Structure 1
Amino acid sequence: MNRTIPVLAAAAVLAAAVFLIMRPERADDSAPPAPDPGAAMTEVSVPPLTGNAVIGKRIFDSFCTACHGENATGRQGSGPPLIHVIYEPGHHADEAFQRAVATGVRSHHWPFGDMPRIEGLTRGDVAMVISYIRAIQRENGIN
């Protein structure tokens, strides 16, 4: 009986076992840590604000920051960043923001669920918020 094949098979199994035991761990073997709930989703540069954008920031801070984060950077687990290419004027015109506040929005770009309508804001108030958001978008290269 030929012993070469069983000896080679045993050597291959032994070599594989040694390799698996002795191999160094790769840094990418572990998953990245999950983001903290409520953490900002992006970083933005905020320009010096003037005129309607100053008023819009005050309104945004009162009505929108809880979900969309400070300076519209988004909030993990709550709401998306509005300083994002998805919300550029060519994709979400100013009227899209007006309608979102007035009627709410079904979830379609992000996994945060539906946005409810926001009570207590007029179209003029929302126009000020839009001025604020567009100023930050321009500062961050979103036109």
Structure 2
Amino acid sequence: MDKLTLLIGGVLVAGVAAFVYNLNQQPSGHSMTPPDTSMLSAGDPIAEVRLPAEFSPLAASGKTAFDTKCAACHGTDATGLEGSAPPLVHKIYEPSHHSDEAFFLAVQNGVRAHHWRFGNMPPVEGLTRGNVKGIVAYVRELQRENGIN
């Protein structure tokens, strides 16, 4: 065997080893799979959500907007409602998977169903970019209180 063949083989083996190592380093308990809600009835909250002791002023204004425009589907304190809409306090919506901008786009354009079985989300009328900024702050503070960073 010549040196070039050995070098290429060595690089391939190292690449496969690195790939397998990285697969084994993924954090456990952080599934992007929605929870099984088959035991819930329509309208039941999907997630249990702990509230922070206090919200920032921006998040407090966001809570007001959320309660007015979002809670009917996404539940009080973003718990989600079985048969209606998913919880926003869920690993799927962590900032590294759904950026803040994803919330702005969802409100403006709606969202095609892609993680959950609730169907598409329509655009939300009557919210300004400032309102959505507050809603995002509110959801992110709820997420942090519940270990989603």
Matched, 1:103 2:109: yes
Query: Could you tell me how far 1:34 is from its partner in structure 2?
Result: 3.5
Aligned residues: 112
* Percent of residue pairs bearing the same amino acid type: 55
| Alpha-carbon displacement from aligned partner over 1:55-95 (angstroms, at most 9, x marks no partner) | 00000000000110000000000000000000000000000
Q: What residue is the counterpart of 2:46 in the other structure?
A: 41
For residues 73 and 115 of structure 2, the distance between their equivalents in structure 1, rounded to whole angstroms, comes to 15
Residue 83 of structure 1 is matched in structure 2 by 89
The DSSP-based 3-state class of the residue aligned with 2:132 is helix
**What residue identity is the alignment partner of 2:95?**
P
Tell me the CA shift for residue 35 of structure 1.
Answer: 1.3
Question: Per the alignment, in what secondary structure is the counterpart of residue 88 of structure 2?
Answer: coil
- For the pair shown, the structure with the greater C-alpha radius of gyration is 1
How is 1:55-134 mapped onto 2 (pairs within 5 angstroms)?
55-134=61-140
- Provide the alpha-carbon RMSD of the alignment: 1.3
User: How far apart are residue 49 of structure 1 and its match?
Assistant: 1.2
**CA offsets per residue over residues 79-127 of structure 1, 9 Å max, x none?**
0000000000000000000000000000000000000000000111100
CA distance in 2, matches of 1:90, 1:38: 29
5+ residue gaps in structure 2? 1-37
Structure 1 residue 46, shift from structure 2 partner: 0.6
The amino acid across from 2:85 in the alignment is G
Deviation string 1:19-50 (CA, Å, 9 cap, x unpaired) is xxxxxxxxxxxxxx741111100101010212
For 1:131, what is the secondary structure of its paired residue?
helix
Taking structure 1 as the reference length, the TM-score comes to 0.76
Given residue 78 of structure 1, which amino acid in structure 2 is its aligned partner?
Answer: S
Aligned equivalents of 1:125, 1:141: Cα separation in 2: 25
Corresponding position of 1:12: none
